[in-house]
Structure 1
C-alpha cells in the first residue's frame, strides 16, 4: 500500500469525531426524552388522583359490554353494512359469535353475528322454541332484570318474547330483524335510551351442541361519558390529549386533541426527518396503533397500566417529523384499578434540537475531515515525491557492475540540505554511496594493480631461477635430487605469471564488454556460425544445433554473445566425456531470446548452483604441475554478457540426470536516444 493511501486511512480516523458526536447527541436526546417522560408521568398521576377524589370515574367491573358511539343512525335490517366501521372492535360472544353495540342520543343498537352451519329452526312462539337455535337477551335496570327469547324459523322481522315476569321500565316485546345464510345467522335490534339500562346479557344456544338454554352473559354497560370528558378538560394541561380507558382499553372519556402541525420553527424537511428517525430516534411506535378516534386501545403500555404499572412510550406523530409522548398510569381506588389514564403530548422540540445539533455536528465534522484529508493528502504527495527523488537518485547512482554514476563527482545528493528526517536520510545515502563508491573503485582496479605490482617480483624470481640454473650447470654442481625442486619452482612461477595475465585480461574484458556497441542482428546466424566453428574443436563428441524456423532479431553485441558461447563451450568440454554429446539451442521468448548449451556429464552440486557465475569460482579439478590454472573467470564473463543485454545467466541439471544445461536469457541492449 502506498504512503498516500496509508495517510488517507489515517485521515479517515477523523470519522471518529462525528461518530462520537452522534453518540453524544443521541445520549442528549435520550436524556431529553426521559425528562419529558418523567414530567408527563407526574402530570398523569396528578390527574388520575384528581379523578378518584372527584368521583368522576364510576367503579368499573372486570368485564363489561362496551357501547360504541355512532355518528349516524343505524338502519335495523339484519345486515352488517352500517356496522362495517365498528367491526374491528367487535366483542366476543361465546365461542362462535361476536357482538357489536352502538348508541346515539336516542337508541341503543345491538348486532349479533353467530356462526352456525347446522341449523335447527323455530319461531319464538313455538312450543319447542327453546330447543331450537336461539338467542337469550337479558335487560337490566334499577328495578330488576328480564330475559327475552329471540328465535325465528325464517329470515325477516320478529318479536323477542319475554321469558320472565314484567319489570318496571322494561318493554314487553322487542322488535328485531333476523337474517341468515350458509355460515350462520345475524340478529339486529334497537332499544330506546329511555330504558336506562344498566346491564345487558346475551346468550347463544346451539341445538346441535346443547347446553343451558336460558344462559346469558350479563355484563354492565360502558360507553363514552361526556361528563367524564368535561372533568378531564378541567384537569389536563394545555396542549395535552387525555383519554380515560377501561381496564380492557375501552374509551370512557377524552379531552383535547393532538396538535402536530408545524410550529413557529417550521416543519423539518424529509431529509431531516429521515436523519432523525435513522440516526437518533429510538424505536417509535406506529401512529396507527394510537389513532385519536378509535374506541379501544390494546397496546402493551395500556395493559401494563391496567396491571398497576405506569408506562411511557414514544410514537410517531401524524405529521412528518413529529413525535408524540404517551404516558399511561392506572386509576386506582382502594387498591383496585378502575381504569387507565392516557396522556399524550406532541413534541417537536426534541427532534428539532437533535436534528439541528446533529446536522451542525455533521457539517462541522465533515468540514474538518475534508480539511484534514486535504492537508494529509498534500503532505503525503510531497513526502512521496521527495522519497521518489531519493529512490530515483539511488537507482541511477549505481550500475550493475558496482560502479557509481558521476552524480557524486561534485559530492551532491538530492535533498541533503533539508533539515528534517528526509534530509538525514539523504545525507546517510550520500555517505553510504561515497564509501561504497571508493570501495568499488578499489575492487575494480585491484586486479590491474596486482598484475602490475606482481610483474616485477615475478620477473626477478624467474631471472634468478634461470641464473641459478645456468651457474650450477656451468660448474657441474647441480645435484640430481635438486632438479625436481627447481622444476617445481619454475612451474610455480609460470602459474603465477598466468594468473597475473588472466587478472589483467579480466579487467580488460570487463571494460570491453562495457564499451561494446550494439546492432540489430539475427541471432540464428550468430548461433549457427558458432556451432559450425565448434565442430572441429570437439573431437569425437557429437554437437546438435537446434534453431527456430523464423528469424530472431535482437538489438545486441554479437561478438559478446559469441564470446560468451566460447566460454560456455570451453566449460562444457571440460566435463563432457570423449564420446559424449552437446546440444546448442536457440528459442524466442516474449521479451527476447534464450540460448542454451547442454552437455553430457556429472550433475552440478546443489550448493554451487548459485555461485557458478561469480568471479574466481571453478568446479574443475586442481591443476597438475605443468597445466594452466583455471581461475573461474569464464562463467563470470558469461554473466557479464547476459547482464549487458539486460538478461540473466543460469545453470541447471537436466531432468533425466544425464548432464547439465547453461542458458543465456537476453532482452537486448538499450538503443541510444537521439
Structure 2
C-alpha cells in the first residue's frame, strides 16, 4: 500500500469526531426530551388535582356505556347503514353481540347486532317469549329501573313489552325495528333525550346457549358521553398551546380543549424536508404513529392510557401533524391511584427539540466535514511531497549506477536533498557517503588490472630468466618435466598480464573513438565478406535491408565488436554448421544480430557473458592457451559507447545462440 493510501486511512480516523458529536447531540436531544416530559407530567398532575378539587363531573366506577355524538339524525330501520362511521368504536355485548349508542340534540339511539346462526323465534307478547331468542332492555333514571322484553317472529317493527311495574318518567311503550338474516339479527330503537337516563342496559339471551340462566337478566351501566361542561372547565385549567383530553377509565372521550400548535417562538421556523429527514433518521428515537391519537377518535385504546388508569404516569413521543414537528403526550390518572375516576391526557407539539437538535447536528457535521477536508488535504499533500522526495532518491540511486556497474561520477557530491534537515535529508546524506565509498572502491577495482600487470612484469621477467639459466645447467633427467611445467606456467601468467594491459588500453581506445555518419549496411556487408574465407566449410548468410541505414557511430568499433562476436561464434559452431549475420532498423537506432548453430547457453550465464574474464570456451574447446573472456566484454563496451546494449539468447527452436547489438548512435559534438 502506498504512503498516500496509508495516510488517507489515517485521515479517515478523523471520522471519529463527527461520530462522537452525533452521539453527544443524541444525548442532548434525549435530555431535552426528558426535560419536556417531566414538565408536561407536572402540568398534567396539577390539572388533574384541580379537576378533583373542583368536583368536576367525572364518571364514577370503571364501567359504563359510551354514547357517541351523531352529526346527522339516524333513521330507525334496523339496518346499520347510518351507523357505519361509528361502527369502529362499537362496544361488546356479551359474547355474541355488539352495542352502539349515539345521540343528537333530540334523540338517544340504540343499535344491537347479535350474531346467531340458530334461531328460536317468538313475539314479545307470546307466552313462551322468554324461552325464545330475545333482548332485555333496562332503563335507569333517578334510582328507578324498568326492564323491557324485545322479541320477534319475523323482521319488521316490534313493540317492547314491559317486564316491571310502571316507573315515574320511564316510558310504557318502546317501538323498535327488528331485522335479521342468516348470520343473526339486529335491533334498532330510539329514546327521547328528554328522559335524561342515568343508566342503560341490554341483555342478549340465546335460547340454545343460555339454558338454565335468568332470561330476564340485564347489565345496567351508567351512560358516558362527551361533556361540554367538563370541556369548559378543562379549558380554564389546561396550559396554553396544549391539547387536553379527559378520558374515562376505558379510554372514552369525556372532554377536550385546546389544539396542537407550535410555540410562538418557533412558528416562523419551519424545518425543511432535509432537516426533517436528518432528525428522523439520525437523531430521533422511534416515533409512534399519529393515527390512533386523532382528535376525532371517541376512544383512545393505547398502552399509555392503560398505564395511567393503573395509577402510573406515562409519556409518548409521536409524529406531529405539521412537517418536522413532534408531539409529546403525557397521561396521568385523575383521582387516587387504584381508584382513578379517569385519565387526563395532555399533548404538546414541539419544533424546538428537532430544530435545536438539527442545528447542533448540522453545525457539527459542517465543522467536522470541513476539518476532515482540511486534514485530508494536508495529509494528502504531505504524502504526495514525501512520495516525490522518495522517488527522487530512488531515481538518483538508479542513475548513479551505469550499465557496467560503474558509478556515475557526476552524482557523487551532487546527491539530491542532502541539505534537508529531516530524516529524508539524513537518508540522502547516507546515500551520498555510500556512493563515495563504493565509487572509490569501484575505481580501485577498475585500475587493479593495470596495476597488477605493471607490478607482475618484473617478477615474471626474473622467473623467466631464472628458468632460462636452468636450461643451460646440468639437471637430473627427472627434473626436466618440472622445468617444462614451470615454463608453461610462466607463459600463462605472461598471457594474463598482457591481456589485462590490453583490456585497459582497449577501454581507453573505445572511449576516445570519434563518431561519424556511416551506412551500417556497407559496414556489415564488408565484415561478412571478410568472414567467409574464415568460415571454411560452415555456411555464412548475410541478411541486409534494401535501403541504406545511416547511423552516427564509430565504424571501426562496430567492426571490432563484430570480429569478437564472429570469433566467439566460430569456435562454437560445428564444422558443417551455419552462421547468420543480419541487420535491421530498430526504433531510433539499429540492431545487428549474429546467430550460430551450436549448444545453447546455460541459464546461469545469461547475465554474466559480457563481463570481463568470463568465458565458456575453456570447457568447450580445451587447449594449451588460456582464453581470458575479454572478447564479449569488448562487445559490451562498444554497445554502451553507442548508448545501446549487448544481449545473448538461445534461439527459439533450440538450434543455436544469437548475440544481438542494439545501437542508438553516439552523441553529436557541438562545434
Distance in 1, matches of 2:75 and 2:195, equals: 20
Query: Secondary structure of the equivalent of 2:414?
Result: coil
CA–CA separation in structure 2 for the residues paired with 1:648 and 1:310? 94
Specify the alignment match of 1:304 in structure 2.
Answer: 307
Report what 1:191 is aligned to.
191
Instruction: Give the corresponding residue for 1:102.
Output: 102
Q: Which one is further off, 424-433 or 640-649? A: 640-649
The reply to whether residue 454 of structure 1 matches residue 468 of structure 2 is: no
Q: Name the SS of the counterpart of 1:248 in structure 2.
A: coil
| Unaligned 5+ runs, structure 2 | 544-548
| Distance 1:147-1:567 versus aligned 2 partners, 3 A rule | farther
| SS, match of residue 7 in structure 1 | helix
| 1:275 to 2:278 alignment | yes
How far did residue 613 of structure 1 move?
A: 8.0
The alpha carbon displacement at 1:533 in A equals 7.9
Q: Deviations over 1:604-654 (max 9, x none)?
A: 7x99999888766678989999734465778888999999866976789x9
Counterpart of 2:447? Answer: 445
TM-score (norm 1): 0.78
**Per the alignment, in what secondary structure is the counterpart of residue 337 of structure 1?**
coil
Gap change, CA 1:220 and 1:138, over 3 Å in 2: same
Counterpart contact for 2:29–2:357, Cα < 8 Å = yes
How far off is 1:319 after superposition? Answer: 0.8
2:227 match: 225
> Which SS does the other structure have where 2:271 is aligned?
coil
Within 5 Å, give how 1:22-33 maps onto structure 2. 22-33=22-33
Q: Which runs of 5+ in 1 are unaligned?
A: 548-552
Q: State the match for 1:284 in structure 2.
A: 287
Query: Counterpart in 2 of 1:53?
Result: 53
Counterpart contact for 2:579–2:594, Cα < 8 Å: no
User: Does 1:482 pair with 2:479?
Assistant: yes
- 2:40 and 2:607 map into 1 onto residues whose CA distance is 87
Indicate how the Cα distance of structure 1 residues 560 and 669 shifts in structure 2: closer, same or farther if over 3 A, else same. farther
Give the alignment partner of residue 365 of structure 2, picking from 356, 362, 366. 362
Matched with 1:76 is: 76
Structure 1: distance between partners of 2:44 and 2:665: 93
Is this contact kept in 2: 1:66–1:101, CA < 8 A?
Answer: yes
Kindly tell me: are residues 407 and 181 of structure 1, through their superposed partners in 2, closer, same or farther at Cα, counting changes over 3 Å? farther
Of 318, 323, 328, the residue aligned with 2:321 is 318
**CA offset digits 1:35-71 (Å, max 9, x no partner):** 1111222222233333333332545434332222223
Whole-Å separation in 2 of the counterparts to 1:181 and 1:501: 133
Alpha-carbon distance change, 433 to 651 in structure 1, aligned in 2, over 3 angstroms: farther
Distance in 2 between the 1:91 and 1:519 partners?
117
In 2, Cα distance between equivalents of 1:599 and 1:468: 46
Q: Which residue of 1 aligns with 2:16?
A: 16
The SS at the match of 1:422 is helix
1:248–1:520 CA distance, 2 compared to 1 (3 A)? farther
State the Cα distance separating 1:14 from its structure 2 match. Answer: 3.1
What residue is the counterpart of 2:146 in the other structure? 146
Say whether the 8 Å CA contact 2:636–2:645 is kept in structure 1: no
In 2, the alpha carbon distance for the partners of 1:485 and 1:285 equals: 115
Aligned counterparts of 1:650 and 1:325: Cα–Cα separation in 2:
87
In the superposition, the TM-score normalised over structure 2's length comes to: 0.79
* Contact 1:158 1:178 survives alignment (8 Å): yes
Answering whether residue 503 of structure 2 is matched by residue 496 of structure 1, we say: no
Between the aligned partners of 1:195 and 1:453, the Cα distance in structure 2 is 146
Q: What is the aligned partner in structure 1 of residue 546 from structure 2?
A: none
Alpha-carbon RMSD across the aligned residues, in angstroms, is 4.8
Change in Cα spacing, 1:396 to 1:67, as seen in structure 2 (3 Å) is: same
- Asked if 1 retains the 8 angstrom alpha-carbon contact of 2:87 and 2:100, the reply is yes
1:237 is the counterpart of 2:239: yes
Q: Distance in 2 between matches of 1:152 and 1:670?
A: 126
Aligned position for 2:65? 65
The 5 Å alignment of 1:241-640 reads: 241-260=243-262, 263-333=266-336, 335-408=338-411, 411-469=413-471, 471-472=472-473, 477-504=474-501, 627-629=624-626
Provide the rounded CA distance (Å) in 2 between the counterparts of 1:214 and 1:100: 21
Shift of 1:490: 1.3
Alpha-carbon separation, structure 2, partners of 1:618 and 1:235: 115
8 A contact 2:241–2:263 mirrored in 1: no
Given the superposition, is the C-alpha separation of residues 176 and 341 from structure 1 closer, same or farther in structure 2, using an over 3 Å criterion? same
User: CA offset at residue 401 of structure 1?
Assistant: 1.8
Moved more, 216-225 or 30-39: 216-225
Question: Structure 1 residue 668: deviation in Å?
Answer: 8.0
CA distance in 2 between counterparts of 1:224 and 1:559 reads 122
- Distance across 1 between alignment mates of 2:124 and 2:489: 148
Residues 46 and 438 of structure 1: is their aligned pair in 2 closer, same or farther, counting only changes over 3 Å? same
What per-residue deviation string (whole Å, max 9, x for no partner) do you get for residues 164-199 of structure 1? 433333322322223344544332222223333333
Distance 2:485 2:312 in 1: 119
Structure 1 residues 380 and 70, CA gap change in structure 2 (3 angstroms) = same
Q: Could you tell me how far apart the structure 2 residues matched to 1:183 and 1:645 are?
A: 107
> How far, CA to CA, are the matches of 1:670 and 1:154 in structure 2?
124
Deviation at residue 80 of structure 1 after TM alignment: 2.6
Question: Equivalents in 2 of 1:268, 1:370: separation in Å?
Answer: 27
Q: CA deviation at 1:308?
A: 2.6
Q: Could you say which residue in structure 1 is the equivalent of 2:115?
A: 115
SS of equivalent to 1:408: coil
How far off its partner does 1:218 sit?
4.0
Residues 486 and 593 of structure 1: is their aligned pair in 2 closer, same or farther, counting only changes over 3 Å?
A: closer
Which residue does 2:42 correspond to in 1? Answer: 42
- Report what 1:550 is aligned to: none
Aligned mates of 2:537, 2:92 — CA distance in 1: 116
Q: 1:625 to 1:456 in 2, by over 3 A?
A: farther
Post-superposition shift, 1:300?
2.2
- Matched residue, 1:174: 174
Distance of 2:660 and 2:307 partners within structure 1: 87
Whether the 8 Å CA contact 1:568–1:662 is kept in 2: the answer is no
**1:521 & 1:202 partners in 2: Cα distance?**
125
Partner SS, residue 390 of structure 1: helix
SS in 1 for 2:340: strand
Do the aligned partners of residues 634 and 203 (structure 1) sit closer, same or farther apart at CA in structure 2, a change above 3 Å counting? farther
Deviates further, 614-623 or 274-283: 614-623
Shift, 1:104, TM fit = 2.9
Number of equivalenced pairs? 645
CA distance in 2, matches of 1:297, 1:450: 113
Structure 1's 16 and 217: CA in aligned 2 closer, same or farther, altered over 3 A?
Answer: same
